[in-house]
Amino acid sequence: CYIEVDEDEAFENDTVARSDENDSKNDDPDHGWTQWSNLPDHILERIFSHLTIKERYYASLTCYGWYRAFYLPHVWSNFLVEDATLGRMRYNYYSGWQPVLDHSRLQSCLLSVGHLIRGLDFRPQVSFNNMFQFMSLISWAMEQNARTSGCPREWVGCGSRIRSLNYLFPCNMALSEDPESIKLFGTGGQLLAALKRLMLCLTNLQSLSLVDLILERYEANHLLDEVLESCCLVLRRLCLVNVTSHHCPIMHIGLFLNLQVLEVSPQNVDDDVLTLLADSKVKHLTLLQNRYTPPALAISPCSAKAWLTVRRDNPKLRVHLRVESTTNAVILLQPEAPVASMIYQTPKTMITSDQLVAAVDAYKYTLTVYGHEQLPVTDSPMDGEFQERPDSLLVLLTRSCPGLNALMVRECISTATILLIAKSAQNLRHLYINRDQVKLGCDWPRSPDWTDEFYQWLQTTSSTLEATEREVSRILDHPYWHLLSEEQFQMASLMRHVAF
């Protein structure tokens, strides 16, 4: 490791000014000194875990207490590998200055803290060669530990505590000037071989995430051979998103004997995979569609017969449908599946009668979480007609799904609709609504089932936001419930209500 010194004249002047200020503070008897060096270890661990490797090293030079914090276990619980991680800049004739992995720094880092690393997180951008060399070196170190004899003493324990591996491949090679364009290239070759070598060495792996690999069919069929051999009994969480861009069932996911949580793309699941999952211990199955997943119309759902077999043989299994995209993407519905949550993380997808009525018909007895996260790209018209808004659809959802526990609404609805949602939902406890999309008043046509007293209450309470918030908090038995601002709505997430 080395310290980079900036010899700019402005930096020197600022340093001199700061030293003069510090001298004046030293002369001041009333100046109070803080005790940052005496922070408890568990707080220092949290602080250091948010720093980069370079920042941690510089902080460790401050005092002896922070030097000790550099080697605390929680600091290295997750090791993030990016383009510039443990690298140096090298000039490329075609691309200019590019980060290149510094082998001496990497070796020094692994010798110092390799035995403390509990998770590896690969998030490369352009330098695939750096990632390949990193995986090759740490795999070699773990292979030395696996030898019965002859392991160098300085490498003992390196990588032995790794329990999680996250690998995100940047499959979109489109030009950055056009954020909507997609040009997919999958991984493979020596990079895929290095990844499989690394997974073979991780014999205590409990969590594995492989995202956007976009492999060919013959490569996808053997992707998890090494994982199945090394950690068939210990793997608890598995995430396989877009292993392929076309229909290709991954049979390996049903062979991990103690798997609890599974996240997979719908094109990599079929009836045969569901048959294996029916006899497994999987409790949560998430079918995730992201930006690079084929459209829902191009994917065939699993048969209702296969889902009925799963519900019979694995009654504790809960299915979660989620879509993450920048386009107008919709969720692929699975007939007869025990769906517990439907989450849209798409700014352009709006509530439609076809999608919501189909979801209500299919999952009204199992659905507990439903909503559209993120703010819409174009706001709904505040003065739109009642028939054009999703008010009646949302009330239908809450009335038809007795187990609904969390609901997020980002589209324009009236305050009367909010009251009807809270009144008609039997078990609703978490309601997220964007304040800027709320329309005051009651524009509902009077229902024959409503009494004069109820209709008067609805009209009076919906006349102001304060009265609506007060009444909804009383109905939901949530004294601090309130409508959310755009910033609060953007930060809210339904994932916290999906119990994994």
Among 15, 48, 75, identify where a domain stops.
75
- Give the pLDDT band of residue 31 (cuts 50, 70, 90): low
Boundaries of domain holding 435 = 338-499
Name the domain boundary from 44, 75, 106: 75
Tell me what pLDDT residue 233 has. 92
Average of per-residue pLDDT across 361-380:
86
The neighbouring-strand residues paired with 439 are 414
- Give residue 8's pLDDT: 46
pLDDT at 199 over 90: yes
Structural domain contains residue 246: no
- Mean per-residue pLDDT for 35-39? 80
- Asked if the structure places residue 69 within a domain, the reply is yes
86 is written with which tokens?
């443990």
User: How much is the CA Rg of the chain, to the nearest whole Å?
Assistant: 28
The pLDDT score that the predictor gives to residue 365 is 93
If pLDDT is split at 50, 70 and 90, which confidence band does 178 have? Answer: low
Residue 151's pLDDT is 75
Q: What are the start-end ranges of the E strands in 51-132?
A: 79-81, 87-92, 96-101, 119-122
Confidence band (pLDDT; 50, 70, 90) for 468?
A: very high
Exposure letters 378-415 (e unless 16+ CB within 10 A, then b): eebeeeeeeeebbbebbbbbbbbbebbbbbbbbbbbbb
The reported pLDDT for the residue numbered 96 is 79
Asked if residue 458 belongs to a domain, the reply is: yes
Residue 101 within a domain? no
**What average pLDDT is seen over the chain?**
86
Q: What is the pLDDT of residue 374?
A: 87
Question: Does a structural domain hold residue 104?
Answer: no
Output the pLDDT for position 7.
43
Could you read off the pLDDT of 310-346 as tens digits, one per residue?
999 999 999 999 999 888 889 999 999 999 999 999 9
Query: Is there a domain that residue 457 lies in?
Result: yes
* 8 A C-beta contact, residue 286 and residue 262: yes
411: domain CATH number? 3.80.10
Residue 374's Cβ-side half-sphere holds a number of Cα atoms within 13 Å equal to 16
Within a domain: residue 467? yes
Count of structural domains within the chain: 2
Output the domain CATH number for residue 68. Answer: 1.20.1280
426: in domain = yes
Total-model pTM = 0.86
pLDDT given at position 54: 84
pLDDT at 5: 42
Residue 66 φ/ψ, nearest 5 degrees: -75, -25
Q: 97 vs 352, which has greater pLDDT?
A: 352
User: Residue 13's pLDDT is what?
Assistant: 47
